[in-house]
Structure 1
Amino acid sequence: MCESTVYSTNNEKIMEDVLSIKIDGENIDLVDILGARKELKGTIVEIDLDKHGIYIDLNK
């Protein structure tokens, strides 16, 4: 499978086993393999396909 882990730019883990990411402006909707959802405001700044990591700059 191709799950990824989502981190903040401070390397804090936000969510594991993410299968789906939907972006609408600054809104980012994450869904994991069990169907759990998390909604964030931020900007994706890096996607590392080799390490299955996605990095988000959170707008606070």
Structure 2
Amino acid sequence: MCESNAYSTDGSILMEDVISIKIEGEDIHMVDILNQRKDLKGTIVEIDLDAHKIYIKIN
């Protein structure tokens, strides 16, 4: 599997095992491996594919 964890820029976990991200302006929609959804406003600032980490600046 190729899931990643999403973190805020301060290092706190926002969501584990993310398999899908959709961006609509400032809205970020994430879905995990259990098909649970989390929506938030922010900006993706870094994606580390090697470490499976996504960093999001929350607005």
TM range (shorter): over 0.9
Partner of 1:26: 26
Q: Which runs of 5+ in 2 are unaligned?
A: none
Q: Which runs of structure 1 show a deviation greater than 3 angstroms over 4 or more consecutive aligned residues?
A: none
How far did residue 34 of structure 1 move? 0.5
Partner of 2:51: 51
Q: Does 1:42 align with 2:42?
A: yes
Q: Does 1:9 align with 2:9?
A: yes
CA distance in 2, matches of 1:4, 1:21: 10
CA distance in 1, matches of 2:47, 2:54: 5
CA distance in 1, matches of 2:6, 2:30: 9
Question: Aligned residues, how many?
Answer: 59
CA RMSD of aligned residues (A): 0.2
TM-score (normalised: structure 2): 0.99
